[in-house]
C-alpha cells in the first residue's frame, strides 16, 4: 500500500517534471518556428507621409518590391475621375498614389514622366496615369496597391487596414 502510494507519488512527480519539460520544449519549438524579429520587421515598411512633396514620385521598397509613392497636387486631385479617386490613399487630407512599381503586364518597372503625369513601361509600351490606371495596353489592370494601414501620419505597408479592405472588396486592386 505504502509502496503503491510511494510509486504513485513518484509517478506524479515524474509526470510533473515531464510536463514541465514538454511545455519547455514546446516553448523552444515555438521560438524556433516564429520568424526572427528582423524577418517580422522586414515584412512591414512604415512610411512617414508628411515627408513627400506634391508632384514628385518617390520609389520606396516593401518586401523587395519597388513601391511608387506620389503625393498628388491639388490640380491632380481636381482632375481625377471616379476610378482614379477610388485608388487614392488619403492621409490627413492629402491624396496619394501608392502602388507596387511593377507593370501588371510582365513585371517591368515603368518610368514616371512628370510632364505627362503618367508612367510608361519601356518593355511593351504600356502606360498608366498618375493614379496608376492603365491608359494604354497591354497591361491588363492598373498598378497593384500593396496592403496598407493608415496610422496617423504614417502608412504601414504589409498591414491590412479598413481602407485597403474596401479597395479589395470593390475590385480596385487584386
Ligand atoms: S511589361 Fe510593361 S508593357 Fe509589357
Average pLDDT of the segment spanning 109-137: 97
Q: What is the pLDDT of residues 32-50, one digit of tens each?
A: 555 444 444 668 999 999 9
pTM metric for this prediction: 0.77
Nearest CA to ligand 1 atom 4: 124
Predicted pLDDT of residue 22: 56
Give the residue extent of every domain in the chain.
2-34, 41-169
The preferred substitution site among 66, 106, 141 for testing ligand 1, maximizing ligand atoms within 8 Å of CB, is 106
In CATH terms, the superfamily for domain 41-169 is: Rieske [2Fe-2S] iron-sulphur domain (2.102.10.10)
Average pLDDT, the chain: 86
Distance CA 120, CA 101 (A): 11
- Does 17 score more than 90 pLDDT? no
- Does 4 score more than 60 pLDDT? no
Res. 135 pLDDT band, cuts 50 70 90: very high
C-alpha torsion 89→43→68→154, nearest 10: 40
Res. 24 pLDDT band, cuts 50 70 90: low
Amino acid at each position: 500500500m505504502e509502496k503503491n502510494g510511494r510509486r504513485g507519488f513518484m509517478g506524479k512527480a515524474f509526470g510533473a517534471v515531464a510536463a514541465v519539460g514538454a511545455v519547455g520544449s514546446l516553448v523552444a519549438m515555438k521560438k524556433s518556428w516564429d520568424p526572427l524579429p528582423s524577418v517580422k520587421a522586414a515584412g512591414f515598411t512604415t512610411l512617414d507621409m508628411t515627408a513627400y512633396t506634391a508632384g514628385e514620385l518617390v520609389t520606396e521598397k516593401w518586401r523587395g518590391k519597388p513601391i511608387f509613392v506620389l503625393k498628388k497636387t491639388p490640380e491632380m486631385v481636381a482632375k481625377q475621375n471616379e476610378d482614379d479617386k477610388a485608388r487614392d490613399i488619403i492621409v490627413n487630407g492629402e491624396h496619394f498614389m501608392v502602388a507596387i512599381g511593377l507593370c501588371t503586364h510582365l513585371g517591368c518597372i515603368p518610368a514616371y514622366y512628370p510632364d505627362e503625369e503618367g508612367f510608361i513601361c519601356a518593355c511593351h509600351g504600356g502606360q498608366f496615369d498618375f493614379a496608376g490606371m492603365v491608359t494604354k495596353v497591354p497591361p491588363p489592370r492598373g498598378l497593384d496597391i500593396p496592403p496598407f494601414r493608415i496610422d496617423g501620419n504614417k502608412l504601414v505597408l504589409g498591414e491590412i487596414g479598413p481602407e485597403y479592405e474596401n479597395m479589395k472588396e470593390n475590385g480596385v486592386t487584386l
